[in-house]
Amino acid sequence: MTVEDTIGRIIEEVNRISLPGPGYTRPSYSPLETQAHAVVAREAERLGMTVSRDAASNLFARLPGRDRAAPPLHIGSHLDTVANGGAYDGQAGVAGAMALAAHFVESGETPPVDLVVTVTRAEESVWFPVSYIGSRAALGRLSAPELEARRSDTGETLAHHMRLEGGDPRAVLEGPGLPTASFIEIHIEQGPVLFDAGEPFALVSGVRGGLRYREARIEGTWAHSGGAPKASRADAVVAFADLVTALDRHWDAILADGGDLAVTFGRVDAASSEHAFAKVPGRLAFCIDIRSGEDGMLERMDAILQREIAGIEERRGVRFHMGPQSRSRPASLSAGLNRRIGEASAALDLKPRTMLSGGGHDAAAFAAAGFDSTMLFIRNWNGSHNPDEGMDEKDLALAVRALAAAFADRQADGGARLPRKAFPIEKA
């Protein structure tokens, strides 16, 4: 029961470390995130693994493989959370990775190449307006301006917080980053597809890209709710509602056409001290998150957005100030790794489907850097990024067993199917 025990212990110990609830809150590059990394370090050292940290304070716990010269297999996820997040987003992947390592140690098997449990920093981009900070830092792909991004709660820079948690921002910029290898991330699905289908886990073929305006606002005209005739109003809330319903209609039409799209207005603020029930609202702040697996779709939606905004400004007498736009490109994951894991699963009588990831994940950053990278999705319920995230640890254990089978040392079994360069880079 090494796999199950390790999973349960790591999830429990990590989640003891949190700001007050509901749910779990470990901000990116916070002392809490650092403490959570330390849980993994202790567990890895108990297993005899070699623990190291890079300049961005990402954690690596290495278990030697048969071929020490071959590119290693990185496997891991992150331990920061959104505010009031759940018990599994990030944690499940780290626990699964450690469970795989524990399986090798316990069974006495040697993995074909070095297994590197990789715990990244700052994956949840709600804290800093930068995607995949820890993994991109590990890969030598973080830029100097990004290090100046400010954390949403403290207002301090990424460089500042990185330093506080033991990192060295200057060294991050100097690179050169990890040599190209393989990366596998286990993660809860964050959607209801596997739960509804009754399937324990899936393989992920790609990660949706995103187009975001995090600091958009609408400026209207403050007025008295009883005294301002309709025609004289420039109501920021009504203008916002127009935009939401317009994009909702476009979304319906695009889905009906078979397009891939998700549109979310996650935060809406017309509740400052200036707002009151008896005042026509003169201001509203909001953010918008548009995701798609199709690169052209983000362009198309941005054009639709601008067109709708122009119409609403004209009709409602308000002004939209959309603020900076951030983007992440859709990423394709490794068909080769998916085939290998799928075949090993089949031998265990499991037939994981292959599906798209709606959320962005570190695996996309590794893929973008040329890694042979993929993900396993674990069935979950109540979505993710909320205190009620639900997952059955048995499903996670099944996925770990599928990985153990996929990376069993076939030479030890007398097989010779593993090439010298274990996981060749595959352009997706």
Query: For residues 135, 136, 138 and 140, what is the CA-based torsion angle, rounded to 10 degrees?
Result: 170
User: How far, CA to CA in Å, does 203 sit from each of 11, 187, 379?
Assistant: 22, 10, 11
Q: Is 258 in the site for a copy of itself (CB under 8 A)?
A: no
Q: Is 224 annotated as a binding residue?
A: no
Q: Nearest Cα to 303, choosing from 374, 367, 254?
A: 254
Q: Is 245 in the site for a copy of itself (CB under 8 A)?
A: yes
Q: Which stretch binds a copy of itself (CB under 8 A): 57-65, 265-273, 335-343, 408-416?
A: 265-273
Q: At what angle do helices 393-406 and 91-107 cross, to 10 degrees?
A: 50
Neighbouring C-alpha atoms within 13 Å toward the C-beta of 377: 30
Nearer to a copy of itself, 284 or 344 (CB): 284
Task: Convert residues 287-316 into a mask of x (bound to a copy of itself by CB under 8 A) and - (unbound).
Answer: xxx-x-------------------------
Q: Is 279 in the site for a copy of itself (CB under 8 A)?
A: yes
DSSP-based three-state secondary structure for 81 = coil
Q: Is 330 in the site for a copy of itself (CB under 8 A)?
A: no
User: Looking at 228, 405, 425, 428, which residue binds a copy of itself (CB under 8 A)?
Assistant: 228
Strand (E) or helix (H) holding 223: strand 223-224
Structure tokens at 250: 């476009």
Subset of residues 163 to 192 that bind a copy of itself, contact rule: CB under 8 A:
189-192
Q: Is 366 in the site for a copy of itself (CB under 8 A)?
A: no
User: Looking at 176, 278, 414, 427, which residue binds a copy of itself (CB under 8 A)?
Assistant: 278
How do strand 283-292 and strand 262-264 relate by DSSP bridges? antiparallel
User: How far, CA to CA in Å, does 153 sit from each of 27, 120, 158, 161, 212?
Assistant: 9, 21, 12, 12, 19
Subset of residues 80 to 99 that bind a copy of itself, contact rule: CB under 8 A:
82-84
> What does the DSSP 8-state code read for residue 165?
T
Amino acid code (one letter) for 136: R
Task: Convert residues 102-141 into a mask of x (bound to a copy of itself by CB under 8 A) and - (unbound).
Answer: ----------------------xxx---------------
Q: Please work out the total of residues on this chain that contact a copy of itself, with binding judged by CB under 8 A.
A: 75
Q: Is 29 in the site for a copy of itself (CB under 8 A)?
A: no
Q: Which residues are annotated as a binding site for Zn(2+)?
A: 78, 89, 124, 187, 385
